[in-house]
Amino acid sequence: MRAILRFRAGLVYPRPRMSSDALTSHLTESRRFEPSPEFRARARVKSLDEYQRLYRESLDDPRAFWERETSDLVFRTRATSTCDGAPPHARWFTGATLNLTESCLDRHLATSDRHKAAIIWEGEPEAGGRPVETRTVTYGELHREVVALAGALRALGVTKGDRVILDLGLVPEAAIAMLACARIGAVHGVVFGGFAVEALRDRINDCGAKVVITQDGAFRRGNVVPMKATVDRALEEAKSVEKVIVLPRLGAAHAPIALQPGRDLLWSDALALDPRGGAAPEIVDAEHPLFILYTSGSTGKPKGVLHTTAGYLAGAHVSTRYAFDLRPEDLFWCTADIGWVTGHSYVVYGPLSNGATVLMYEGAPNAPDPGRFWRIIERHGVTVLYTAPTAIRAFMRWGDQHPSACDLSSLRLLGSVGEPINPEAWVWYHTVIGKGRCPIVDTWWQTETGTIMMVTLPGATFGKPGSTGLPFFGVEPDIWRADGSSAAPNEGGKLVLKRHHPSMLRTIWGDDERYQKTYYSEFSGTYFTGDGARRDEDGYYWVLGRIDDVLNIAGHRVGTAEIESAVVGHPAVAECAAVGRPDELKGQALVVFVTLKLGHDAGPSMRESILEQVSRDIGKFARPDEVRFADALPKTRSGKIMRRFLKDIAAGRSATGDASTLEDLTVLAKLSANEE
């Protein structure tokens, strides 16, 4: 079965067609974009040969590779071996002890970097084309703040291994809080600020957090998003939390912050508890847990992906340096929110361990107008921009006049992450933003891999719009057929990583069985990514999309099961199924099919109340794009909903394919006839 989906704007954006055991790719993109000779001449890796040499070394002699590439990091004792054991429970850098913040902070204090900007921050509110607030935090200042907050956490009784939930927006304090946890060996769990009460509560309970760090509210597209109030409600049913530290962000014009006596304290009061109390870092083992980050899986319960210290640091450090060809004078802007893994690895840990300057912008790309990103680049002289295809497509739609009004000549490198980038968006990014001058690094990775696993390495390789390039150092991907044999060039299959990498997740918090089952059971002992992909005749990888019940909406993974459990929580809903359909802007849009209990009427107010239910339970970002009411859903005789038919219907295609296991054939006809 073959299909190419055409979008309204005339873009051709192919989506994989998936049957039970095969994937067919329809992308035929043969353009190649070479880096300029000037870029290549200055690049860290200057040729494909040089890349191949380093890559071979990383596989054949991982010890030599990782020792050399991490030699600038601070270890109290060096590792005695590089990798021990086998996946799913391999361990890295055995014998090493460290505190990761010494690599991100202390080591820079001994050099002139002490006075270098670690973070240049802009708040969202703007007046007359200028930000109302900007802040520059030097490495010296960042160290001081981290030491003080670490002292506060210690004074509040947080010790090594305790969990701290961070519900913060894009403010420098988010980085400070992450580093302060790491400073004392506590495990941070950053929860995306857009999550609703239930989602936040479940995450706090899952990890049994002792402390929550939040802010009163955040500015978002000119509105205020309440955060402390959400935390308060979540804590009504999350009893492990003893203390809440609150950062006042909104200012005096907004409602005063309600503090619960004995539990809540303001950021400034916390910092005063013991300002030098974090000076001595907790020295931990290489495999000590660093953070938990929740991500969507194919069952309703979010997975607490656990990353550990030395391996994660090594991956973040080395990938930032090479993938972005980082230089000391760069101003590096990764636009991701701190609540996603990209914000962890490429706003905080990777850049700071390399002594880079990061730009952090609090708000939305179109606040107060669609020119905001480009003004930021011009104002600060951003040199590397790392963003997501969904944002790029929004910029395209908003029009070239916005970037064209700004001087973007400081840019030298562009990056993309989060989903396959469609060639039209790639070429637009390259032409309109990069002026044909900046290589585009397409980076494939996951919350689980922690850091970049595949990349169109700038300088060394050419770009092919839509391809994520070649494996990063230490990574050995392959495309497997269902029987575990390697697919031929250009044959679609399942993307696996055959070798353990230092920054891979170690387990799912509190559920090692689910960890093994999710990642290592499809192919016993080999990591299965959940993605379909193909590899072309140049060895370039093309990711075709998720093959599990996980959608990628605007670069965020959303588990259909999680959406479904929110929808069936609605008192009028009998059954539902959530599926994705291609969307020009978001990559995928979320469609829910709903059958109501008897006696309830489908209509606009029912639709709105179902949408509200999802916003309330999960967050606005997961609000379905469409609700379709149906008398019945297509099911197998054993009662399993047949989503592939619903996907066809949602996409406006006729539902074809094998319907022999369908219980009631008339259901499909009715659903198709119901189209809006």
Catalog residues that contact ligand PRX under the rule CB under 6 A. 295, 341-342, 417-420, 442-447, 468, 529-531, 543, 546, 552, 557
The amino acid at residue 558 is V
- Cα separation, 242 vs 206, whole angstroms: 16
User: What minimum distance in Å lies between the beta carbon of 324 and ligand PRX?
Assistant: 14
Alpha-helical runs (H) found in 197-308: 197-207, 228-235, 267-273
Q: Spell out a b/e string for 167-188, using b for 16 or more CB atoms within 10 Å of the CB, else e.
A: bbbbbbbbbbbbbbbbbbbbbb
3 state SS of 225: strand
Q: CA dist 619 to 91, 411, 446, 565, 566, Å? A: 36, 34, 21, 14, 11
Under 8 Å between Cβ of 594 and 578:
no
Q: At what angle do helices 604-617 and 560-568 cross, to 10 degrees?
A: 120
Answer yes or no: are the C-beta atoms of 233 and 110 closer than 8 Å.
no
Read out DSSP for 89-106?
S-EEEET-EE-HHIIIII
Report phi then psi at 344, rounded to 5: -65, -50
Distance CA 527, CA 499 (A): 8
* Cβ 428 to ligand PRX shortest distance, Å: 17
Q: How far is the CB of 513 from ligand PRX (least distance, A)?
A: 21
Taking the complex as a whole, the smallest distance from the CB of residue 376 to ligand PRX amounts, in Å, to 22
Query: Which are the contacts of 134, defined by CB distance < 8 A and separation ≥ 6?
Result: 120, 121, 122, 123
Q: Which residues contact 145 (CB under 8 A, 6 or more apart)?
A: 137, 173, 176, 271
The nearest distance, CB 287 to ligand PRX, in angstroms, is 22
Q: Provide the minimum distance between the beta carbon of 355 and ligand PRX in the complex, in angstroms, as a whole number.
A: 23
**CB of 286 or CB of 543, closer to ligand PRX:** 543
Pick between residue 99 and residue 296 the one whose CB is nearest to ligand PRX: 296
Phi, psi dihedral angles at 398 (to 5 degrees): -70, -20
What SS3 class is residue 560?
helix
Q: Nearer to ligand PRX by C-beta: 342 or 518?
A: 342
Minimum distance of ligand PRX from residue 557's CB (angstroms): 4
- Using DSSP's 3-state secondary structure scheme, residue 441 falls into strand
Nearer to ligand PRX, 453 or 671 (CB): 453
Rounded to whole angstroms, the Cα distance separating 552 from 588 reads 6
- Nearest approach in angstroms of CB 325 to ligand PRX is 17
* Pairing between β-strand 331-334 and β-strand 357-361 as defined by DSSP bridges: parallel
Q: How far is the CB of 543 from ligand PRX (least distance, A)?
A: 4
The CB-of-526 to ligand PRX minimum distance in angstroms stands at 16
Q: Give one word for 530, left, alpha or beta, with left for phi > 0 and alpha for psi -120 to 50.
A: left
Q: Which is nearer to ligand PRX, 365 or 530 (CB)?
A: 530
Report the residue number, 144 or 546, with the smaller CB distance to ligand PRX.
546
- How far from chain centre, in Å, is Cα 612? 25
- The four Cα atoms 208, 210, 213, 214 give a dihedral, to 10 degrees, of 60
30 within 8 A of 462, measured Cβ to Cβ: no
Question: Nearest approach, Cβ of 463 to ligand PRX (angstroms)?
Answer: 12
Least distance from ligand PRX to the Cβ atom of residue 346, Å: 9
**Closer by beta carbon to ligand PRX, 443 or else 518:** 443
CB of 162 or CB of 583, closer to ligand PRX: 583
Contact 305, 505 (CB under 8 A): yes
Peptide bond preceding 88 in cis form (omega within 30 of 0): yes
Closer residue to ligand PRX in complex, CB, 215/295: 295
CB of 636: closest distance to ligand PRX in angstroms?
Answer: 27
- Helix, strand or coil, per DSSP, at residue 280: coil
How far is the CA of 220 from the CAs of 33, 135, 340, 361, 367, in angstroms? 37, 18, 17, 11, 8
Judged by beta carbon, residue 99 or residue 416, the one nearer ligand PRX is 416
Closest approach of ligand PRX to the CB of residue 532, in Å: 9
Give the position of tokens 């600020």: 193
Q: Is 163 strand, coil or helix?
A: strand
